[in-house]
Structure 1
Amino acid sequence: MTSMPTRRLGRDGPEVSALGLGCMSYMQPGEEGGRAAVGTIQAALDAGFTLLDTADFYGSGVSEMNVGQAIRGRREQAFLSVKFGVQASPTRGIIGLDGRPNSVKNFAAYSLRRLGVDVIDLYQPARADPEVSYEETIGAVADLIQEGKVRYLGVSEVGADLLRRAHAVHPVTALEIEYSLACRFIEAEILPTARELGVGIVPYRILADGLLTGAAPQDTHFRVPRMQGENYARNRETAKALDEMAAAKGVTPAQLAIAWVLSRGDDIVPLIGVSRPSRIADNMAALAIALTAAERAELDRAFAPDAIVGARYPEAVLKWAAT
């Protein structure tokens, strides 16, 4: 198996694994689902993953409990990134946001208990609550840092303006945001701003919901426009450039897509999702893939910022996302 290198998370942040583990899928209730989740997380830790990314609303706390069980007795191996602030219905639908300072501190108290830890390494509002001053939300996290309950401030799905506003309250260590060959909107303003401020980038959805791998659209709690109907057919035509290059290099499209994100800068730590331990080595193989300048240029041409059609979220969710 390819060994796991490290990258610094932000200019003044800690060193973490070059790939992070997204823990959204580890929220199946019940004893069997918990065992599978814990086993996969522990296998990832064994393979060198340190950055574990979860949220209090993933399965209404189930993901956090599984992560907590997985790191029991090995806390020092894990860098815990936790998102908060999304209000979810019993059917997992997003029904709102809550960035009020007292709510932030309440969320943190419950996350600390579910994770079984004394401190959260990176704490971040999942979205900016439009009804609350972003400075107030960030200030509550700064208070938690002062109290020793949080180590670093993160932000998620915000544009350049909110990133600057957050950084003015307290130094931001990392920005979690969607970034992939199929979704490159951050390159215009958000990525340069993050680099100016010394903020690391933690990309998620780096396979664009399976669009870059040819996976069939999945029925989830919302329908992604870029994965529907004519949009999906056209986008898969675009993605053939990735398929062909991957075949020529003897790797999978997923591995090549991960390698492309890794190649965008040493300040980028992408999140991957792993459904079972046997998939860990496949994903880590991307770390050994080198892209030539000509290959990068070819992918840049094929996946120009406007090449993928259809929004990355439905309108009801997109209103809370960065643009």
Structure 2
Amino acid sequence: MSAADSTVPSLPEGYERTMPSGAVKLPALYATAGARAATSAAGDAAASASRRVLPALRTSPVGRILPASLRTPGRDRVSGALELPRVAHVVEGLAADPEWHEKFCRVVHATPHPEAPGSAETAVFSGALHCLAFPVAMSVLTRKDFPLPVLGMVHISNTVHHVSDVAVGERVTATAWTENLRAHRAGTMLDAVVTLTREDGSVAWAGRSGYLAKGVHTAIAGEAPRAGSEDAAQREHAPFEAPLPTGQWSLGAGTGRDYAAVSGDYNPIHLSDPSARALGMKGAIAHGMYTASRALALTGVPSEVPFTWSVDFATPVRLPATVAVAVDDDGRGAHWSASHVQVWGPKRNRPHAQLRVAAL
């Protein structure tokens, strides 16, 4: 693991900390994103996507709170160079509800463990912490001054630093911002970063998500790529060679709806074939973080061990699906040091995701 991978993200200099202006709930945030997509777009590709967004939102759980006055696509365009808002949203008092956490773990097949050996407190599964933090990141992505079409963005990768366990019910503070806006051969990329801190200010968990706004090719102002940065979507990959599978998942057509119910992520591309097609997809696809969380649940990470995990997404998992998985743990129990999980479609031998986990 490189030094960059082991460095916990920190808020860049010059960013203003502020509270989000509205409710930090995913249905409301998706409604905001849909409304904004109806009245603005960054380039022709984003404009085309925006005209398809609202019909899908109307048939999703978000539709009931979408203002009727904003259901007609506009013709405005964003002009000039793109620049990310130098603002961090801060939300205090977040906590994982015990009943919600139990349901989440059941959906992703994760086994909860005590916060410490012999402790009565349950540690929040790392994938569930992502769901706890994600709405705060989404509140930044749906700001009026955020320059890209949120509903058209593709989730490319994730890197998480699980520095210490957070107990179910323990209150933490989430701080979210965006950075590293850069050009990509298929559009424009950026990182959305969230940290979860305790009352003493120490970081317990931090996540960096890479997003691609496909088809948005424009000048970029203010932000420059980090030296030596290389996105998973831009690397040259060798032809995929399927390893010997250690398991198989049978994912039903309702997998996206099941995960949406516990994550709050009701993005229409995951809910049904009609709502996904309205956004230009061939059909409903599984949430990337469902795949990542379920893969993480297969690894042998011991309790109390700080670790980092990263996932690169290749091709989407079209629902319903049967996928193969291969888990390779470097040691078990006290001797564990790393894990590697590959997820692919055995019928066409197409890779879906690759998860790497290592002790910090």
Which has more radius of gyration? 2
Question: Do the structures match in fold with TM over 0.5?
Answer: no
TM norm structure 2: 0.25
Q: Which protein has the bigger helix share?
A: 1
